[in-house]
Amino acid sequence: MEKQVKRIGILTSGGDAPGMNAVIRSVVRSATTRGIECVGIRRGYSGLISGDVIRLDSDSVSRIINRGGTMLYTARCEEFMTEMGQSKAAATCKQFGLDGIVAVGGDGTFRGLLALSKHGVSVVGIPATIDNDISCTDYCLGYDTAANTAVEAIDRLRDTMQSHERCSVVEVMGHRAGHLALYVGLATSATAVLIPEKEFDFEKDVVENIIKARLGGRTHFMIIVAEGAGSAVEIGDKIREELALDTRVTILGHIQRGGSPSARDRVTAASMGYEAVKVLAEGKTNRVIRSVSGKFDNIDIAEALNMKKGLDQEQYEVLEGITGIYH
């Protein structure tokens, strides 16, 4: 039997990701269908502490499914890391009669939910990060869009690199995780991919790969660097010095966070938002919505936070098998 839930809140926290607006829309419309009121909490946990709350309905979330960013804004909140801040946030939930909170973000967002739940608030998390590094789920909102944005940019760079017979070093996001860099490297047939999970040897992993590509007849080269693996500028300088190549460095930066979400991210957002409302309506709490083998379910937040996610070893093998130069 479903719990009598009258009103829920939704917030977005941490780094933004394409698809956040689509999941806000899904949560609001799924709640409305069940007769549940929905409010938006602006600026993440900071807004939950201050009471920065707006009413949301089907009309207010119309025409946002195709928009990047988040209409509720996002922020990191140091005050919420304190017991006093968490108590204030819980008090806001009581003040506005919120029977549950849906928070969209990454591991930090989920830790915040876990802390909030200790004050008696029902909570559900939805994974959204372009790094795709949340351990409990195969897929995080925003990853596909960010990858396609990077691939399109790199394809454009390849055109000009080929015309001038240059080497291009491209830095993509991924401070602690190389999922995006590896995926994009595979999609663009990169000469080398450098990621934070694997300490690289410049001579072996970069210089030798470029030399092998040269011997194979290639006159332009593409090096993909995750931001946490090292300085793309320094790597570009070393390539120029050691191989006398005309090298250009491009840092894609926050362009990867923006833009209209892909079809995959829109559909994933719809499914995850629906599942989040369903979980709260069923009286469950401390859950994270996840995607496993193409199916959506939910897992305990504490259990989710204790899981570890490794890189896709099959992608390594495929990249090596296709290019014949990856180590």
pLDDT tens-digit profile, the chain (327 residues): 445 899 999 999 999 999 999 999 999 999 999 999 999 999 999 999 999 999 999 999 999 999 999 999 998 899 999 999 999 999 999 999 999 999 999 999 999 999 999 999 999 999 999 999 999 999 999 999 999 999 999 999 999 888 888 999 999 999 889 999 999 999 999 999 999 988 889 999 999 999 999 888 888 999 999 999 999 999 999 999 999 999 999 999 999 999 999 999 999 999 999 999 999 999 999 999 999 999 999 999 999 999 988 877 888 788 777 765 443
How far is the C-alpha of 120 from the C-alpha of 286, rounded, in Å? 11
**How long, in residues, is the chain?**
327
| Nearest partner of 307 among 57, 136, 96, 68, judged by Cα | 136
* Tokens representing residue 31 in the block: 């709640």
CB atoms within 10 A of CB 155: 12
| Nearest partner of 45 among 134, 141, 125, judged by Cα | 125
For the CA atoms of 235, 238, 239, 243, what is the dihedral angle to 10 degrees?
A: -170
Crossing angle of helices 208-215 and 232-243, in 10° steps, is 50
At 115, is the secondary structure helix, strand, or coil?
helix
Q: Could you give all domains of the chain from N- to C-terminal order, each with its CATH number?
A: 7-142+261-305 (3.40.50.450), 146-258 (3.40.50.460)
Do residues 157 and 137 make contact, with C-beta atoms less than 8 angstroms apart?
no
| Nearest partner of 131 among 170, 172, 171, 179, judged by Cα | 179
How far is the C-alpha of 232 from the C-alpha of 214, rounded, in Å? 21
Sheet holding 7-12, edge to edge: 53-56, 37-41, 7-12, 100-105, 123-127, 287-292, 295-300
- Which alpha helices (H) appear in 34-69, and where do they start and end? 44-50
> Which residue has tokens 């990060």?
129
Going by their DSSP bridges, the two strands 167-172 and 247-251 should be labelled as parallel
Amino acid at 92: T
Positive or negative, the Cα torsion across 79, 81, 83, 86? Answer: positive
Looking at residue 206, what DSSP letter applies? I
Residues designated as active site: 131
pLDDT recorded at residue 1: 43
